[in-house]
């Protein structure tokens, strides 16, 4: 089915010192960034628009580097995450340096997204299979209540690094639907077992099976999510009025609220793709080797944008 679908790349976490950030560290054989491979895979999977969600001060350098490479191949738009576009508590928030969170980031794209869309992080390598499955899901969903949202589910063994623990959402899945996510620090112990330590300190650590499902923040929505985010934003800010400098309005929380309120469902679409990323500086060499191998296996061309 020929249907417009959009990829929203969350890159507002980049700071002003663009050249020293892991999102744009050259890792490919010809100095490609991880974000280049995400766009390339999205195009191959059938996405026909990319939206980069960035800080406004990074627009020129972002457009001159990443934008210049990908704009000849797919429609590209830019959105800015600003804290001063929130009417409630506007004065208190406008000088806050830290972004307000991923739910607010998505809301900042509202005026440029009118079709089913997927969100990803700028600094994660997700793998072609994940994009293909996400595109297939978006092309067939119907925008009617309860709205059919989705999540690409990874095998936990394919998302960890030997250099330390990583943050992952450990998922409880029933009949292919997402029931619960426990945000955790996940890694192998000395015995080689995968252990999840919940970020909620009131919860105890638990062992995770190799093939259990985790979330990598690769989520699928229809534009109906914007109304839900807007309708719950004031409540969130009021609840956190004494913590406006640090609170974060997060999309996983919004997703679960939408499920609890029967506004939406969340299907888990499983992938066997392997995640790569630079959580630790020691990860960089491993990512370079993995990308080099994928090029040698003809998964990607040697010069990504010159094929």
- CA–CA distance, 182 with 106 (Å, rounded to integer): 22
* Secondary structure of residue 208 in the 3-state scheme: strand
What the chain holds in terms of domains, given with CATH numbers, is: 6-296 (3.90.550.10)
> Of 133, 125, 110, 112, which is closest to residue 47 (Cα–Cα)?
133
pLDDT for position 17: 35
DSSP 3-state percent helix, strand, coil across the chain (nearest 5) = 35, 25, 40
Q: Three-state SS string across 95-122, please?
A: CCCCCCCHHHHHHCCHHHCCCCEEEEEC
pLDDT for position 279: 83
pLDDT for position 55: 87
pLDDT for position 157: 96
pLDDT for position 19: 43
> Of 46, 5, 10, which is closest to residue 128 (Cα–Cα)?
46
DSSP-assigned letter for residue 83 = G
pLDDT, averaged per 10 consecutive residues of the chain (307 residues), comes to 87 54 74 94 97 90 90 95 72 76 92 96 94 97 91 96 91 93 93 93 95 95 95 89 87 92 96 91 90 95 87
* Secondary structure of residue 198 in the 3-state scheme: strand
The answer to whether residues 133 and 271 touch, using CB atoms and an 8 Å cutoff, is yes
């Amino acid at each position: 089915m020929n249907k417009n679908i959009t990829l929203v790349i969350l890159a507002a976490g980049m700071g002003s010192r663009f050249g020293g950030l892991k999102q744009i560290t050259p890792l490919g054989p010809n100095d490609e960034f991880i974000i280049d491979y995400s766009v390339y895979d999205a195009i191959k999977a059938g996405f026909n628009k990319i939206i980069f969600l960035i800080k406004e001060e990074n627009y020129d350098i972002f457009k001159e580097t990443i934008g210049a490479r990908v704009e000849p191949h797919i429609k590209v738009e830019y959105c800015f995450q600003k804290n001063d576009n929130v009417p409630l508590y506007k004065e208190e928030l406008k000088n806050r340096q830290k972004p307000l969170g991923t739910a607010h980031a998505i809301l900042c794209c509202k005026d440029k997204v009118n079709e089913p869309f997927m969100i990803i992080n700028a600094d994660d390598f997700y793998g072609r299979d994940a994009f293909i499955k996400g595109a297939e899901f978006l092309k067939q969903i119907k925008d009617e209540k309860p709205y059919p949202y989705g999540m690409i589910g990874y095998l936990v063994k394919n998302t960890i690094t030997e250099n330390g623990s990583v943050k992952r959402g450990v998922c409880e899945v029933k009949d292919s639907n997402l029931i619960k996510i426990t945000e955790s620090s996940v890694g192998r112990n000395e015995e080689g077992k995968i252990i999840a330590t919940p970020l909620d300190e009131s919860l105890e650590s638990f062992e995770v099976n190799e093939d259990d499902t985790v979330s990598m923040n690769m989520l699928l929505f229809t534009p109906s999510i914007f109304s839900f985010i807007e309708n719950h934003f004031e409540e969130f800010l009021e609840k956190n009025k004494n913590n406006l400098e640090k609170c974060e309005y997060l999309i996983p929380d919004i997703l679960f609220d939408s499920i609890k309120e029967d506004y939406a469902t969340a299907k888990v679409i499983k992938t066997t793709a392997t995640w790569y990323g630079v959580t630790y500086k020691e990860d960089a060499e491993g990512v370079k080797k993995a990308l080099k191998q994928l090029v040698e296996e003809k998964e990607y061309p040697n010069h990504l944008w010159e094929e």
